[in-house]
Structure 1
């Protein structure tokens, strides 16, 4: 079972992945790709998101990762950030970058069984700080929700599940999907 937990920043991904891993130690946890890039980035930009997209795609290669894994973020997250930057007129990069990022995302998702989306909702109880680039956060959330409906990006293999609710409800929903698929 290969699970990717996706959502904009400050949407509860780390908490959900951590809670799930504690109860399911047989799963390998792949951390947020941001933890694996050069920490000198001081603000969101296309180069940062493109680097994270590549990392998140490469680590989903079945030859490079465990059979049972839960990944915090996948390439679709960073494709959504690139499109959101473009929409906010912050220069996401070239059309070629967006096209190549879409292709990388599509190919990587072929190796994912379940794509969990954590959309922003009022009931999640998450209060982001002002330093969380709130405009980009909201724009990425909207783009991500659009992308999951695009068969040309998602393909027909991956099961897409939107999970909302408080911390306990989200964990229960993820467990139901993971256990339901494997058990």
Structure 2
């Protein structure tokens, strides 16, 4: 019983549709977020929970949180958790620019004076998680121990894409409390 928890927010494949149609293609490029997690479960015959997680910027961390919760409840014995974020078509950037979301100077200044937007990043990362007692018993190389996780939402702020320093502080406090 291995769970798969895939943080994913966007793909961009569908943006290639009009370009392909002009060339005579009769396809609609798309991906279902559930396919990201479920394809892994299918290919490796994994029979634990298998789900995509889309919480925007926090998708990967939320996937890890959900994996930890499922492990804690015994719903899986191990979990593959992580995320992917790729900008596969230029229109992804056009939309961010049109909504004035990108940093004008190309620098992130989260909660800092002069913050004027964010700088998108791309990447993929995955970790294999299992209960510490099981990892020790199996003599696995242990690279880190997750002692506590937590998730929340910032509620209403100065703007839909503006984080709440208060809510993020509460989130950190809760995670530290859970970690002891």
Question: TM-score surpassing 0.5?
Answer: no
* Structure (1 or 2) with the greater helix fraction: 1
Structure possessing the higher relative contact order (Cα contacts under 8 Å, 6 or more residues apart): 1
TM-score normalized by the length of structure 1 = 0.26
Q: Which has the larger radius of gyration?
A: 2
TM-score normalized by the length of structure 2 = 0.27
